[in-house]
Structure 1
């Protein structure tokens, strides 16, 4: 009985809220101009596509062993055209070290303060050596 009551309440709330949610509807359907996709049993793959609006993406990946553990290594790039007609492109790699994007449109953080840069340089030049206790 409690399950039925909870179910009716959930359905009622969802029915009341759903008309309030506005889902954006695209102005036009963007066609796919070209598309390619390949995958191999060993884990290697690649894909590429281009949209009619200038959007492009291509990516390739493979499985490699890092310390006897399988890791997926990926590289690729994508680009798109913004509302003003400018093209923005990003290239990237992703592997056991993380995701590494590169592109002119990516935000750049502030420069490292000089005191911090000196401290980091000192730490790099003088690595910590653990002392052995007797």
Structure 2
């Protein structure tokens, strides 16, 4: 019986995943940090696997941090993702070729918007259901 238990434990030990084979070794190429303690900061980080992060921040007018920065990483297929961003009173505003963009409005929608603007300029008003109140 002891031999069976010992054999089972040995089989489990041999079958256990070897995690050290899956952990990539990444070398840090650059790691710079500055913080003046008053809400102003800057940091830069870069690794040899293509990951890079850079940001600088200042105190915002409403108590938040205003941050400008960027980050980069490499997809498994080899393509590089680059994202630049601003985060301030207006929220998080990323910019990247990877982000989806709005489709252009069709010509008839642009014409309807133009007509509505003309009516507003002439004094027309609408209720909450979109019915025109004035002529």
User: Does TM, scored on the shorter chain, surpass 0.5?
Assistant: yes
Alignment partner, residue 51 of structure 1: 47
Match of 2:76 among 65, 73, 83: 83
Q: Does 1:32 align with 2:28?
A: yes
Q: Report the 3-state secondary structure (helix = DSSP H, G, I; strand = E; otherwise coil) of the residue aligned with 1:117.
A: helix
Q: Report the 3-state secondary structure (helix = DSSP H, G, I; strand = E; otherwise coil) of the residue aligned with 1:70.
A: coil
Structure 2 unmatched ranges of 5 or more: 1-18, 126-135
Larger radius of gyration: 2
* TM-score, normalised by the number of residues in structure 2: 0.62
Q: 1:119 to 1:96 in 2, by over 3 A?
A: farther
Q: 1:48 to 1:118 in 2, by over 3 A?
A: farther
Structure 1 unmatched ranges of 5 or more: 1-23
Q: 1:45 to 1:117 in 2, by over 3 A?
A: farther
Alignment partner, residue 102 of structure 1: 95
Q: Report the 3-state secondary structure (helix = DSSP H, G, I; strand = E; otherwise coil) of the residue aligned with 1:116.
A: helix
More strand, by proportion: 1
| Pairwise CA RMSD | 2.9
Aligned pairs, how many? Answer: 104
1:37-89 superposed Cα distances (whole Å, 9 cap, x missing partner):
11112200111101110111100110032xxx323211001111222322221
In structure 2, C-alpha distance between the alignment counterparts of 1:122 and 1:31, rounded to whole Å: 60
Q: Report the 3-state secondary structure (helix = DSSP H, G, I; strand = E; otherwise coil) of the residue aligned with 2:109.
A: helix
Moved over 3 A (4+): 24-27, 113-130
Alignment partner, residue 13 of structure 1: none
Q: 1:50 to 1:122 in 2, by over 3 A?
A: farther
* TM-score, normalised by the number of residues in structure 1: 0.62
In structure 1, C-alpha distance between the alignment counterparts of 2:33 and 2:78, rounded to whole Å: 28
Alignment partner, residue 18 of structure 1: none
